[in-house]
A and B are shown apart, each in its own frame.
Chain A
Amino acid sequence: MSILSVANVNKRFGGLKALDEVNLNIEAGTVHAIIGPNGAGKSTLLNCFVGRLKPDTGTVTFDGKSLLGIKPHEINQMGVSRVFQTPEIFGDLTLRENVLIPAFAKRDGAFKINAWNSVGDEKDLETKAMDMLADLGIAEKASDVAGQLSRGDKRRLELAMCLIQDPKLLLLDEPTAGMARADTNDTIDLMKRIAERGVTMVVIEHDMHVVFSLADKISVLAQGTVIVEDLPENIKGNLKVQEAYLGGAHL
């Protein structure tokens, strides 16, 4: 069953055609990677999933409902969580608070004045938050301020913030961009573990190697259009892909 389907999506920025008749189906319970060279339209496509951009024509349907013209917070409430290229966290707050906020958002909805309890009284959510931090190996830093974390730990925290919401779909925008090798491998392992739990993931990547061991299916985007969609083992040898990436040189 496809959980996210994109049909005939076009998006133009002035004279630049960023997306050209994009069709895409994401199956529930799979890891789907969208790869492509710089400027292929990967981030534009992702921004159409989360309500930041509206396609000029075409449809984006999640779980049977259209995502067009819906605000980011509403899309999240439908079950889509997102990881950013540079980890977006609450830098002034502690790790525990960082994870509690999405937990409150999941339980209380987009807006609720919950001013008569103190945060400390919410034992269920506190336990859940601490378990989530422990799961990602950052529990001992729970009371630290998040802004001081290393890049790799910020990524862990951001994933914890997404996972505590039990998302139906997790979107990752170049999750290893700008990371040191060790952090990259760490993050890949982490994503594998998340994939094993059956979370549906869409990974946008520039670096092909990151996704080969992870993805169930890969779509290759070049110049705003999906040129190939196939299993990872078939992508590597595909001539079209090599051409798109390296102008024909062998990988």
Chain B
Amino acid sequence: MKLLAMSRNDILLFVGFVIFTLAGPIILEPFGAGYPDLLQKFAIFGIFALGFNILFGLTGYLSFGHAAFLGAGSYTAVWTFKLFSMNPIPAIILSTLIGGIFAAAIGFISLRRTGIYFSILTLAFAQMSYNLAYSVLTPITNGETGLQLAQSDPRVLDVALGRDYGAVLPSSDFFGLEMTGYPGFYFCAIFLIICFFIKIRIFRSPFGLMLRAVKSNQNRLNYTGVNSRPYDLSAFIISGMYAGLAGGLLAVTDPLAGAERMQWTASGEVVLMTILGGAGTLIGPVIGAGAIKYFENIFSAFNDTILMNAFSFLPEVLQSAAVSVTSLFVGEGWHLTLGALFMLIVIFLPGGLMEGFKRISAMIKKRMNGGSDGSASSNPTTSA
């Protein structure tokens, strides 16, 4: 077992990723994204999308129900806070496990079908979970209000260790370090880095090769002596665990859980993130997750006053016209921008933003080589 034996490119990628993640607050400051709440979201949804890509990018199974695992993770984490301890470690261990268990159950049934039928099955299961969380399971999920902490929670472990939160509502803390603001971000960032490392290992391993073979030609794979079902299910469970962990971290940074996390829009969002960034690539989904969360934040913050100021250089008639048109795309309507962006990406860059980066770097290389070719062609003997 050569756990650390990675190819040079992978080491560079991983080191770059670690530096970028840890220096995120500084690097993203100029873009107006250098504040902890947004950075936490980048890291958490980055984990969610990374895991989703292990299923979708490698095996090609498009799940429309991964939000169910995210939601289950959040509920588990909040319950762990309530029952055992405000320390985030047990909460995320349990939420990862529960995400995996849920995925095993849903995956076992859904993976009997492929293609669109698989997608519909996962969607149906997720919507079922969402509706159950609102109705029958209200004692566990606290229905519409959402699951919250209370002063009267037992917190057995904390009590046993003599930890008393007094009369205030406790927040999650890692041995005294509160999981809000930058500490919260770095806590999530460490998990993002671990998750990314595991993903590199999976992508490069024989296991990952088998998963790619599932996507490429499942029929051939079966006639090659491989039972593809357990491979599909493993990928599904691993991605479910990633989702559970992400859900747990959401609760760690903000200890409440609501059913809307399980809604199909949330499942759709992770699909968008993965495709936007580049399905099947190592780092694409994190970039996609970051891009969507960033735009959500920026565009939804715009309102008419800001727009009026932005267009103040125009004559008054044009100004109000410009504002009424652009206001469709910002604020409440930022989803319109997202939709348009997504359409452009799918049409022009089917491989997502990663394909865009590759094209640009190929273009730069070509231009540089083109320069040297130009000088070489002046000398026919070398150009041949």
Contacts and interface: CB of A to CB of B under 8 A. Distances in A.
Interface string B214-246: 011101111111111011001000000000000
Given A72-B222, A90-B220, A110-B225, A119 B213 contact: no
Contacts of B335: none
Interface in A16-40: none
Contacts, number: 111
A121 B5 contact: yes
Contacts of B222: 71-73, 76
A97 B205 CA distance: 12
A47 to B, nearest CB: 11
Nearest to A88: B220
Given A102-B225, A104-B206, A165-B225, A118 B212 contact: no
A73 B209 contact: no
A110 to B, nearest CB: 4
B204 interface: yes
A248 B209 CA distance: 53
A111 B231 contact: yes
A73 B226 contact: yes
A161 interface: yes
A50 B220 CA distance: 12
A100 B230 CA distance: 19
A65 B3 CA distance: 41
Interface string B1-33: 111011100000000000000000000000000
A101 B213 contact: yes
Interface residues of B, number: 33
Contacts of A121: 2, 5
Contacts of B216: 90-93
Contacts of B208: 115, 119
A92 B209 CA distance: 11
Nearest to A116: B1
B233 to A, nearest CB: 10
A161 B224 contact: yes
A93 B7 contact: no
B205 A115 contact: yes
Given A105-B226, A111-B230, A118 B1 contact: no
A33 B169 CA distance: 80
B202 A115 contact: yes
A79 B5 CA distance: 34
A92 B212 contact: yes
Nearest to B280: A92
B348 interface: no
Sort chain A's interface into a size bin: 35 or more
A118 B225 contact: no
A189 interface: no
Contact of A101 (B202, B219, B226, B227): B226
Contacts of A116: 1, 3, 201, 205
Contacts of A119: 204-206, 208-209
Contacts of B210: 101, 104
B217 A90 contact: yes
Contacts of B165: none
A91 B6 CA distance: 26
Nearest to B202: A115
A61 interface: no
Interface in A112-154: 112-122
Contacts of A50: 223
A89 interface: yes
B224 A105 contact: yes
B5 to A, nearest CB: 6
Nearest to A106: B225
Contact of B226 (A82, A93, A110, A118): A110
A169 to B, nearest CB: 13
A118 B6 contact: yes
A124 B295 CA distance: 49
A102 B353 CA distance: 34
A82 B1 contact: no
A165 B223 CA distance: 12
15 contacts: A73-B224, A73-B225, A76-B223, A93-B209, A93-B212, A97-B212, A101-B209, A101-B224, A104-B209, A104-B210, A108-B206, A118-B6, A118-B201, A118-B204, A121-B2
Interface of B: 1-3, 5-7, 201-202, 204-210, 212-213, 215-217, 219-228, 230-231, 234
Interface of A: 50, 71-73, 76-77, 81-82, 84, 88-93, 97, 100-102, 104-106, 108-122, 161, 165
Closest 3 CB pairs of A and B: A76-B225, A105-B225, A90-B216
